[in-house]
């Protein structure tokens, strides 16, 4: 039997942004409800070592870190509901009852005086079975997160846009050799980035090449190479590498919110430059769903904190925070 849940603050999403928003909201006595979606814990649940989240002297496991955040959020008074928001009425503001109305896949209704959207984003993958199998063994979608583990090694980046070029350049700070694999004969990246790429002696570009297979070896299995196919001739070849970075873009999980709050052309929610307010008063967005630049757990947590503080001020009738 579907239920109706009322709350001062509804958090949608159970990643670092959502859990942090919930922790701050609960500690402000807003009795938040957090709807987890299909991936409780978010993106960090599919990774192993996390070495750049402050507070831990040695690497921690992504799933463990997210368990800690969940436990903390519940400990301070967050109610977790395992459901997926499939419908949201936000764009016209709260209804006559003072609540935004959202619906879960279960049929449950969520009535919230404020909403924090923290639904994150998904890295785009090539779609190979071997790529998925080796995601805990050297296939990554984030050079900032994992580049450090490849000091003195050889890595490859797949893609041809700004992100791919930036990731390749970043990886040269760690790896001895960086291969950029692109399926066309030109890059989409901005010219200045291309110039930096072409002038970097550590980087070799492989034109008209598509990754057919990620090769692994050992137990536990780790990446040892890639099989490439020439997109013009069909000829195949192998490249020995220690790590593979897929940089072909991200898809923001805007789903039911895309037409409810202002988004950019790719579906990232637009927020005010100084905070997390969206185009709808009382609705805030935090984490990767509104961030196409940094995409880190710590920045997601930071904006989750901001969203809860801004929601609290909104509920108290205090004007939005301004810089002094």
Ligand X SMILES: Cc1cc2nc3c(=O)[nH]c(=O)nc-3n(C[C@H](O)[C@H](O)[C@H](O)COP(=O)(O)OP(=O)(O)OC[C@H]3O[C@@H](n4cnc5c(N)ncnc54)[C@H](O)[C@@H]3O)c2cc1C
Q: Tell me: does residue 23 bind ligand X (CB under 6 A).
A: no
Rounded CA-CA distance 88/72 in Å is: 27
Q: How far is the CB of 175 from ligand X (least distance, A)?
A: 17
Binding residue for ligand X, selected from 7, 9, 10, 17, defined by CB under 6 A: 17
Query: Looking at beta carbons only, is 8 or 260 nearer to ligand X?
Result: 260
Q: Tell me: does residue 13 bind ligand X (CB under 6 A).
A: yes
Q: Tell me: does residue 296 bind ligand X (CB under 6 A).
A: yes
Q: Tell me: does residue 102 bind ligand X (CB under 6 A).
A: no
CA separation, residue 229 to residues 91, 181, 235, 237, 243 (Å): 47, 11, 6, 7, 18
Rounded CA-CA distance 33/95 in Å is: 19
Q: How far is the CB of 198 from ligand X (least distance, A)?
A: 28
The CB-side HSE value for 291 (13 A sphere, CA atoms) comes to 23
Q: Tell me: does residue 137 bind ligand X (CB under 6 A).
A: no
Total interface residues for ligand X by CB under 6 A: 43
Query: Looking at beta carbons only, is 185 or 266 nearer to ligand X?
Result: 266
φ, ψ dihedrals at 12, nearest 5°: -110, 110
Active site residues: 142, 145-146
Q: Tell me: does residue 255 bind ligand X (CB under 6 A).
A: yes
Q: Tell me: does residue 84 bind ligand X (CB under 6 A).
A: yes
Q: Tell me: does residue 36 bind ligand X (CB under 6 A).
A: yes
Rounded CA-CA distance 75/26 in Å is: 9
Rounded CA-CA distance 128/116 in Å is: 34
DSSP type of residue 45: G
Rounded CA-CA distance 25/2 in Å is: 25
Joined tokens for residue 286 = 């935090």
Q: Tell me: does residue 295 bind ligand X (CB under 6 A).
A: yes
> Of the ranges 24-32, 43-51, 179-187, 193-201, which one interacts with ligand X (CB under 6 A)?
43-51
Return the closest-CA partner of residue 105 out of 121, 81, 77, 72: 81
Instruction: Confirm if 204 and 177 have CB atoms less than 8 A apart.
Output: yes
Binding residue for ligand X, selected from 10, 26, 42, 263, defined by CB under 6 A: 42
Binding residue for ligand X, selected from 22, 32, 37, 310, defined by CB under 6 A: 37
Rounded CA-CA distance 311/26 in Å is: 12
Q: Tell me: does residue 288 bind ligand X (CB under 6 A).
A: yes
Query: Looking at beta carbons only, is 197 or 211 nearer to ligand X?
Result: 211
Binding residue for ligand X, selected from 120, 252, 282, 302, defined by CB under 6 A: 120
Rounded CA-CA distance 126/138 in Å is: 15
> Of the ranges 47-55, 91-99, 194-202, 205-213, which one interacts with ligand X (CB under 6 A)?
47-55
Q: Tell me: does residue 114 bind ligand X (CB under 6 A).
A: no
Instruction: Confirm if 226 and 211 have CB atoms less than 8 A apart.
Output: yes
Return the closest-CA partner of residue 170 out of 158, 182, 159, 178: 178
> Of the ranges 68-76, 180-188, 236-244, 295-303, which one interacts with ligand X (CB under 6 A)?
295-303
List of residues contacting ligand X (CB under 6 A): 12-18, 35-40, 42-44, 46-47, 50, 52-53, 84-85, 118-121, 123, 140-142, 145, 253, 255-256, 287-289, 295-298, 300
């Amino acid at each position: 039997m579907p239920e109706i849940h009322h709350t001062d603050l509804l958090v949608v999403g159970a990643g670092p942004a959502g859990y942090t928003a919930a922790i701050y909201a609960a500690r402000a006595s807003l009795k938040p409800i957090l709807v987890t979606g299909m991936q409780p814990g978010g993106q960090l649940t599919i990774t192993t070592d996390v070495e750049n989240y402050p507070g831990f002297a040695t690497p921690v496991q992504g799933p463990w870190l997210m368990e800690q955040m969940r436990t903390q959020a519940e400990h301070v008074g967050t109610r977790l509901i395992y459901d997926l928001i499939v419908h949201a009425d936000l764009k016209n503001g709260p209804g006559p009852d003072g609540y935004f109305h959202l619906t879960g896949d279960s049929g449950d209704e969520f009535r919230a005086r404020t909403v924090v959207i923290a639904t994150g984003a998904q890295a785009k993958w090539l779609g190979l079975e071997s790529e998925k199998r080796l995601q805990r063994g050297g296939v990554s979608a984030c050079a900032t997160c994992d580049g450090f583990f490849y000091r003195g090694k050889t890595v490859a980046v797949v893609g041809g846009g700004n992100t791919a070029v930036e990731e390749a350049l970043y990886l040269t700070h760690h790896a001895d050799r960086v291969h950029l694999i692109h399926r066309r004969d030109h890059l989409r990246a901005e010219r200045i980035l291309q110039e930096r790429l072409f002038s970097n002696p550590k980087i070799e570009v492989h034109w008209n090449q598509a990754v057919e297979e990620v090769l692994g070896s050992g137990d536990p299995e780790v990446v040892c190479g890639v099989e490439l196919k020439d997109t013009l001739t069909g000829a195949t070849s192998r490249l020995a590498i220690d790590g593979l970075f897929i940089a072909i873009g991200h898809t923001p999980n805007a789903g039911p919110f895309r037409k409810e709050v202002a988004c950019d052309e790719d579906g990232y929610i637009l927020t005010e430059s100084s905070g997390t307010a969206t185009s709808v008063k009382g609705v805030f967005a935090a984490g990767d769903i509104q961030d196409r630049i940094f995409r880190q757990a710590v920045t997601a947590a930071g904006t989750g904190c901001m969203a809860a503080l801004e929601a609290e001020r909104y509920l108290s009738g205090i004007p939005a925070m301004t810089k002094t």
